[in-house]
């Protein structure tokens, strides 16, 4: 078989990586990330309904919703290996199918066990959305643009709860939580068809270069590189601690907190919390651009931890904040959170590119432990504080503001520890344009 000259192949691949096709392919992953963010945060718009439907309190509700993370977190490394070995197309399509199935099962549930199973399937499917999108970016874009694509992916994903959150809250109010989840399952089925038509694993010219089949020895070596790196661990723990407020506050308890704080209806409270995700969307673009501009990953991580710590202290401890100001504060929590995104760019720079899927999966696995631990933990702290007036007719707990301050202090502690860890994270500067980083490192 005639071989294609390497220089010509590099030139052709470069053209493919600079056209419209890479954006279309990445957009498939980005839309999936958009979708999974909506289903991830959907319980925050139906907390009262779920507590009434299953006759549960705060701790149990936190356990129910955290089943999403019980699947999401441990799936990260296996999915990273699958993405490296089989490519993103098949893995992403199958993952979206699990999301749709989980939504339908959750909507159909009348027993807590079935509801937990539905959330588990949603988490298992959603687990691939973020790392799959990053994998598409590494395959379809030059390496010096990967940081920007990570920011755009987060921008697109967080537009889900920003635009979709208030809509979901209104649909829940008008149609009920079950019909809302059925609707989300149907949207997932449409997304599967969209990805089936448009999604491709890698540029066609790059397919002329046979991809390493990654034997067991290579996979084991990649895992060893990741697990034995102290910097990878510190980087991942920082990322997890920064994510705690998003997982525990924005994803679940924030809407109820705002309702109790201002005595307002769910759709209005949801619009306040949606500002968190708007802040993430804007911050993702600004942070990744400035990181590349100043040539630093660590600086945005430090600024993000400082800003998040200050803003959450204001939200939790300062009384009498006007509702209009709260919109701005929640926006800023999302904006400063995006310093955490640099952890993924740093993680990729810490290991050979043949292990990029594994290290991103490992980092995201540790990050998502925040939901596993802190969604039920905040609920447990709320119940522990126990200054609760219980509605005898609905058995739904109504929490006082000092209960919220007691429980949400756990978020402040996490952010303080994250700031401390930035002292130990080594700088990994954004890499200059390297077209075939993957091929070069594997040929060494």
For 398, the enclosing helix (H) or strand (E) is: strand 397-399
Asked if residue 181 has pLDDT above 50, the reply is: yes
Main-chain dihedrals φ then ψ at residue 373, nearest 5 degrees: -85, -50
Tokens coding 356? 């990029």
Per-residue pLDDT at 199: 86
Per-residue pLDDT at 394: 45
Q: pTM of this prediction?
A: 0.77
Closest of 288, 26, 265 to residue 132, by C-alpha: 26
Per-residue pLDDT at 204: 59
Per-residue pLDDT at 50: 94
Predicted confidence (pLDDT) per residue in 360-413, tens digit: 878 988 998 998 899 999 999 998 886 544 543 444 456 889 999 999 999 999
Predicted confidence (pLDDT) per residue in 236-295, tens digit: 999 999 999 999 999 889 999 999 999 998 889 999 999 999 999 899 889 888 887 888
Helices (H), 87-229: 88-108, 112-140, 146-175, 177-198, 216-227
Cα gap 118→188, rounded to integer Å: 14
Cα gap 216→230, rounded to integer Å: 24
Closest of 305, 293, 338, 307 to residue 153, by C-alpha: 338
Dihedral Cα 31, 150, 87, 41, nearest 10 deg: -40
Tokens coding 100? 């749709």
Average pLDDT taken over every residue of the chain: 84
Average pLDDT over residues 103-115: 96
* CA 223 from centroid of its chain's CA atoms: 22
Cα gap 260→282, rounded to integer Å: 28
Closest of 415, 401, 405, 400 to residue 378, by C-alpha: 405
CB under 8 A, 24+ apart: contacts of 176-180 = 176/49, 177/46, 177/49, 177/50, 177/53, 177/107, 178/107, 178/108, 179/107, 180/42, 180/46, 180/107
Closest of 147, 122, 115 to residue 134, by C-alpha: 147
Asked if residue 137 has pLDDT above 90, the reply is: no
Per-residue pLDDT at 210: 41
> What does DSSP assign to residue 391?
-
Tell me the domains of the chain and their CATH numbers: 19-202+214-429 (1.20.1250.20)
- For residue 251, the number of C-alpha atoms closer than 13 Å in the C-beta half-sphere is 24
Give yes or no for a contact between 154 and 284, defined as CB atoms under 8 angstroms apart: yes
Predicted confidence (pLDDT) per residue in 140-176, tens digit: 888 777 778 888 888 888 888 888 888 898 999 999 9
Find the range with the poorest average confidence among 124-133, 345-354, 414-423. 345-354
Cα gap 229→224, rounded to integer Å: 8
Per-residue pLDDT at 17: 54
Cα gap 80→275, rounded to integer Å: 31
Cα gap 25→137, rounded to integer Å: 9
Asked if residue 232 has pLDDT above 60, the reply is: yes
Per-residue pLDDT at 237: 96
Predicted confidence (pLDDT) per residue in 56-87, tens digit: 888 899 999 999 989 988 888 888 788 878 88
Average pLDDT over residues 114-127: 96
Residue 317: CB atoms within 10 Å: 11
Which has the higher per-residue pLDDT, 265 or 358? 265
Tell me the angle at which helices 401-421 and 298-317 cross, rounded to the nearest 10 degrees: 160
* pLDDT range class, residue 7, cuts 50, 70, 90: very low
Cα gap 127→383, rounded to integer Å: 30
Helices (H), 176-265: 177-198, 216-227, 230-244, 254-262
* pLDDT range class, residue 437, cuts 50, 70, 90: very low
For 397, the enclosing helix (H) or strand (E) is: strand 397-399
Tokens coding 99? 């999301």
Asked if residue 15 has pLDDT above 60, the reply is: no
Closest of 295, 151, 237 to residue 423, by C-alpha: 237
Asked if residue 442 has pLDDT above 60, the reply is: no
Extended beta strands in 283-390, E state:
388-390
Closest of 442, 366, 436, 341 to residue 80, by C-alpha: 366
Per-residue pLDDT at 366: 92
């Amino acid at each position: 078989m005639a071989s294609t000259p390497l220089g010509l192949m590099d030139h052709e691949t470069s053209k493919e990586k600079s056209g419209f096709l890479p954006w279309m392919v990445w957009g498939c992953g980005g839309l999936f990330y958009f979708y999974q963010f909506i289903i991830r945060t959907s319980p925050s718009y139906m907390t009262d309904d779920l507590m009434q439907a299953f006759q549960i309190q705060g701790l149990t509700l936190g356990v129910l919703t955290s089943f999403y993370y019980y699947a999401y977190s441990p799936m990260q490394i296996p999915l990273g290996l699958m993405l490296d070995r089989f490519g993103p197309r098949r893995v992403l399509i199958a993952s979206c199918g699990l999301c749709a199935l989980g939504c339908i099962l959750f909507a159909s549930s009348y027993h807590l066990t079935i509801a937990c199973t539905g959330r588990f399937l949603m988490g298992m499917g959603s687990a691939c959305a973020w790392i799959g999108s990053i994998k598409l970016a590494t395959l379809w874009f030059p390496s010096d643009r990967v940081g920007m694509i990570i920011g755009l992916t987060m921008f697109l994903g967080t537009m889900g709860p920003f635009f979709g959150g208030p809509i979901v809250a209104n649909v829940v109010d008008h149609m009920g939580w079950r019909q809302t989840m059925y609707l989300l399952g149907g949207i997932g089925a449409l997304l599967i068809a969209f990805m089936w038509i448009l999604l491709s694993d890698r540029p066609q010219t790059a397919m002329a270069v046979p991809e390493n089949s990654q034997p067991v020895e290579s996979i084991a070596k990649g895992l060893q590189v990741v697990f034995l790196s102290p910097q990878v661990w510190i980087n991942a723990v920082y990322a997890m601690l920064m994510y705690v407020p998003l997982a525990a506050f924005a994803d679940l308890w924030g809407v109820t907190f705002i309702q109790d704080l201002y005595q307002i209806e769910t759709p209005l409270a949801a619009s306040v919390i949606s500002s968190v995700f708007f802040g993430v969307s804007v911050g993702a673009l600004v942070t990744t651009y400035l990181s590349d501009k100043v040539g630093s990953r660590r600086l945005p991580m430090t600024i993000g931890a400082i800003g998040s710590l200050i803003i959450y202290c204001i939200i939790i401890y300062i009384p009498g904040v006007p509702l209009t100001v709260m919109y701005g504060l929640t926006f800023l929590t999302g904006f400063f959170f995006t310093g955490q995104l640099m952890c993924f760019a740093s993680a990729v720079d810490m290991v050979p590119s043949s292990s990029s899927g594994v290290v991103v999966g490992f980092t995201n696995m540790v990050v998502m432990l925040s939901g596993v631990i802190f969604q039920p933990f905040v609920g447990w702290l709320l119940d522990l504080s126990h200054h609760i007036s219980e509605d005898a007719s609905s058995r739904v707990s109504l929490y006082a503001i000092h209960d919220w301050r007691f429980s949400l202090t756990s978020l402040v502690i996490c952010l303080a520890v994250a700031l401390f860890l930035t002292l130990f994270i080594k700088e990994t500067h954004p890499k200059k344009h390297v077209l075939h980083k993957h091929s070069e490192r594997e040929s060494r």
